[in-house]
Amino acid sequence: MTKVRPTLPLALYRSATGLLQPLAPAVLRRRAARGKEDPERLGERLGRAGRLRPDGPLVWLHGVSVGETQSLLPLVDALRRRRPGATLLVTSGTVTSAALLARRLPAGVIHQFAPVDTPDAVRRFLDHWRPDLGLFVESEMWPNLIAAARARGVRLALLSARMTEASARHWSRTPGSARALLGAFDLVLPQDEATETRLARLGAAVGPRLNLKLVGAPLPFDPAELARLRAAVGARKVVLAASTHPGEEAPVAAAVARAAPDQAPLLVLAPRHPDRAGEISREFAGRRLARRSLGEPLAADTEIYLADTLGELGLLFELADVVVMGGGFVPGIGGHNPLEPARHGRPILTGPHAFNAADVYREMFAEVAAIEALDFDALARHLAGLLAYPAIARRIGEAALGYAERQGQALDAALARLDPLLPA
């Protein structure tokens, strides 16, 4: 098994992180004070396990934040079916991802916070968990963690790999180190054509494409709560603006109002970061707004329902007649995954800046499984059409669902590639 070749930049990185590691506890405590870390679980970030390791083989899956860890869930389900005797350990790096996994991971799957990439934290983590296989998702390239895992004989795979042009330029400045780290992976499956090209240019042996964010089941929801909300909404149409960012909520609300002034549709706002709820409430001062997190009732005259909670997008997608995906109407964010509403069979609208899912949207646009609104005036026009002609909206939602269901075939192909790496 090939170990990571210790290039000069990698050796300097290890030395620097070794010198800085005494500062890690203080840095983590400061982050915890700002809500960026779980103060009860800081030990895990230093490699001190919060759980005993079960006997037997262990497969370790790692993703950083909510999007990456959520994309791991269909892989977790598939691995449990394929290797029921193996323990699955999922690590992540953010408080919000830990909260999501606490709700969504099946019983028996262990969650831990990932160790910071210092030599001692990495050593403690690997000494305790002793994984047989490590599955990294998207763009996690922590040199100490990768090198130490490989030195212990851990098989490694980089799945649904994503690399931006900026990251590729960064790694191209130390091409030997990039080749050494990428060469540590037994399997590299890029999520799109651009990433495939960049990784191959840096020396990775890439396999077939896999985008884990495009596979999976519909998000879960409580049927009783859905029935309660539908009763509260009554005959009104519902427009859900999902995963919105600053600069999007007010123009979307204006577009909804212009789209159907006689229907008075309900706008449900689900911001990407629910902690912005106070800011959003102030932005709509004077409007009839109800906050879900505060238990404020959804009344007949409610104009805006602020869904400032986590883990309820499945419920909101089911409630919606039309979904406006946020992050694509202002520059620099890149949009969000359209497959989540697509799995619920909802017609989807996005803005012109959804570059993070450009390939997916391009295919969905071609199949009329989603619609691009070039600005907020266009959004109002598209919303007017979808709300006035529900049969057309239904056909677009069905096309979105069909597209989403076809993406599962990529996971089957990836699992066939993973089989030789899985512990017996």
Distances (CA, A) of 119 to 11, 46, 124, 392: 11, 10, 9, 57
What one-character-per-residue DSSP string does 330-350 give?
A: STTS----THHHHTTT--EEE
Extended strands (E) in 245-400: 266-271, 289-291, 304-306, 322-325, 348-350, 371-372
How many residues are recorded in the chain?
A: 424
Judge contact between 389 and 237, C-beta under 8 A: no
**Phi, psi (rounded to 5 degrees) for 111:** -110, 140
Q: State the catalytic residues.
A: 68
Question: Using CA atoms, how far apart are residues 215 and 339, in angstroms rounded to an integer?
Answer: 8
Q: Which amino acid is at 301?
A: D
Question: Using CA atoms, how far apart are residues 94 and 36, in angstroms rounded to an integer?
Answer: 7
Give the tokens for residue 294.
Answer: 């505060």
Beta-bridge partners for 133: 59, 155
What one-character-per-residue DSSP string does 71-99 give?
A: HHHHHHHHHHHH-TTSEEEEEESSHHHHH
Greatest alpha-carbon span in the chain: 68
